[in-house]
């Protein structure tokens, strides 16, 4: 079975458009939404992301909704499908932000199939 793994130099999930994320509606409170709005640039990317290196600048102090291992517990599909759910989510983010043939997608597939 494939295991989910976050890869370095990705950050594909650090681009927010809450209007497109109806799946998050009942998982974020008003403070979370205000925080997301305050840390989102006009083009959708998080202000805390070092775009050149694709790294979170506040990694140790990132919000709870950025902590995949914690936040995923709120998703019924994670409880049902486990890592497959996370892998599919990452592939969606990577595909929409970098493309299916991107180096990020290639590295993610390698990281999630070798285990
Ligand atoms: S999309 Fe997945 S692999 Fe990429 S940074 Fe986010 S959690 Fe990590
Ligand atoms: S706080 Fe860090 S992990 Fe969260 S969206 Fe911004 S850059 Fe990504």
Residues 6+ apart with CB under 8 A from 72: 78, 85, 86
Going by their DSSP bridges, the two strands 55-56 and 49-50 should be labelled as antiparallel
Share of the chain above pLDDT 90, in %: 85
What one-character DSSP code corresponds to residue 49? E
- Going from N- to C-terminal start, the domains of the chain cover 12-113
Query: 79 CB under 6 A from ligand 2?
Result: no
The distance between the two most distant Cα atoms of the chain, rounded to a whole number of Å, is 40
**Gap from CA of 9 to ligand 1 centroid (Å):** 9
pLDDT exceeds 90 at position 25: no
Closest CA to 25 of 65, 56, 81, 66: 65
Closest-CA residue, ligand 1 atom 7, reads 6
Q: pTM score, two decimals?
A: 0.92
* pLDDT per residue as tens digits for the range 52-108: 999 999 999 999 999 998 999 999 999 999 999 999 999 999 999 999 999 999 999
Closest-CA residue, ligand 2 atom 2, reads 56
């Amino acid at each position: 079975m494939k295991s989910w793994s976050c890869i370095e130099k990705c950050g594909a999930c650090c681009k927010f458009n809450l209007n497109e994320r109806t799946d998050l509606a009942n998982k974020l409170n008003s403070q979370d939404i205000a925080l997301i709005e305050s840390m989102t640039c006009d083009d959708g990317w998080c202000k805390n992301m070092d775009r050149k290196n694709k790294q979170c600048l506040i990694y140790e102090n990132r919000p709870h909704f950025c902590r995949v291992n914690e936040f995923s517990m709120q998703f019924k599909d994670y409880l049902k499908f486990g890592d497959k759910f996370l892998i599919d989510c990452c592939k969606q983010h990577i595909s929409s932000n970098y493309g299916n043939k991107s180096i990020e997608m290639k590295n993610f597939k390698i990281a999630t199939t070798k285990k």
